[in-house]
Amino acid sequence: MAAVAELTLRRIAGALGAEVDGVDLASPLSAEDVARLRAAWLEHQVLFFREQPLGAAQFMAFARAFGRPVEYPFVQGIEGYPEIIEVKKLAHETANFGGIWHTDTAYLERPPMASMLLAREVPPQGGDTLFASMTAAYDALSSGMKRLLEGLRAVNSSAKADVTRTREDRIRTDGRGDTKKEYVAEHPVVRSHPETGRKALYVNFAHTVRFAGMTEAESAPLLRYLFEHQVRPEFTCRFVWRPGSIAFWDNRCTQHNPINDYHGYRRVMHRITLEGDRPMGSDPCG
């Protein structure tokens, strides 16, 4: 069977997100297939696929068609596939992995270009994921605010208390032995997308601690405004998972937040992140 029979896209919200039909991701993708999907992904920022019960090798092949899978620094991968981690919450647990608005691993010098999440087990209700467009959030700012943010850099840390709590259960059961206690990286507050050229806000509640050259107290009022602004409802979409569903998002211009509303049930996902580059601002030197 051809990987792409008759590709159709259905937008699910005004700001970002499209559901893709007519694709069998268990079959190899041609160069033309990849180009069409990548163009749609760049336009919509996150793509969703249904009924794709891929094995680990098939999931990895899909990921490699778009980039180079990399390992997550805090949790070891599944057996035989170090780049695929289990994102799970068990029935007795109360905190969910990554249960906070964030862009993946912004505390790394080269954060991932993209992330892919494949649903293995989902609760009978709840466990949806929200996504937000950081280009839409940037575009909606006033010209004065844009001028203020231009040239600012943000310090991001893996050790913010709110986010460390969301991975404690997984580190306890699946943690890597070589993990550093803290990763810190400084990135532009306004990031230019390397493929589309569009500007996006690149701060997030989970990882951004302060502005470079400022104290946390000095940074807090403006950061608080940006954190609230960038997840306004009109910048978001919501995805309801089913087993075999896949979300593929552009980590350079989106944030996401898995909703923790399914206590007493299991939710198990497999995640792959793809190698990215160093975030650049409007200045070519970053």
In tens, the pLDDT along 152-207 reads 999 999 987 566 555 444 445 555 455 667 899 999 999 999 999 999 999 999 99
Residue 139 located in a structural domain: yes
The pLDDT value recorded for residue 74 is 79
Question: What's the angle, vertex CA 12, arms to CA 279 and CA 94, rounded to 5?
Answer: 70
pLDDT over 60 at 139, yes or no: yes
Work out the average pLDDT over 267-272.
97
Give the phi and the psi of residue 145 in degrees, each rounded to 5: -65, -40
Residue with tokens 């996401």: 256
Work out the average pLDDT over 27-38.
95
Q: CB burial class (10 A; 0-12, 13-18, 19+) of residue 215? A: exposed
Q: What is the CATH number of the domain that holds 55?
A: 3.60.130.10
Count: domains in the chain: 1
The pLDDT value recorded for residue 170 is 45
Residue 282 located in a structural domain: no
The pLDDT value recorded for residue 182 is 87
pLDDT band with cut points at 50, 70 and 90 for residue 87:
very high
Residue 279 located in a structural domain: no
Cα–Cα distance for residue pair 133/246, rounded to 1 Å: 18
Cα–Cα distance for residue pair 132/86, rounded to 1 Å: 23
> pLDDT tens digit string along 236-263?
999 999 999 999 999 999 999 999 999 9
The pLDDT value recorded for residue 179 is 61
Work out the average pLDDT over 67-95.
92
pLDDT over 70 at 85, yes or no: yes
Residue 281 located in a structural domain: no
* Residue 74 in tokens: 């805090």
Cα–Cα distance for residue pair 236/234, rounded to 1 Å: 6
- What's the predicted TM-score (pTM) here? 0.91
Alpha-carbon distance values, 35 to 32, 52, 172 (Å): 5, 20, 40
Range of the domain at 98: 4-274
The pLDDT value recorded for residue 160 is 79
Nearest to 124, CA basis, from 245, 261, 25, 18: 261
Residue 283 located in a structural domain: no
Work out the average pLDDT over 24-33.
94
Residue 285 located in a structural domain: no
Residue 163 located in a structural domain: yes
pLDDT over 60 at 67, yes or no: yes
Mean pLDDT score of the chain, rounded to an integer? 91
Work out the average pLDDT over 119-134.
98
pLDDT band with cut points at 50, 70 and 90 for residue 126:
very high
Residue 284 located in a structural domain: no
Nearest to 37, CA basis, from 65, 56, 13, 75: 65
**Residues carrying an active site annotation:** 102, 104, 256, 271
Nearest to 201, CA basis, from 245, 239, 247, 146: 146
Task: Give residue 64's identity as a one-letter amino acid code.
Answer: R
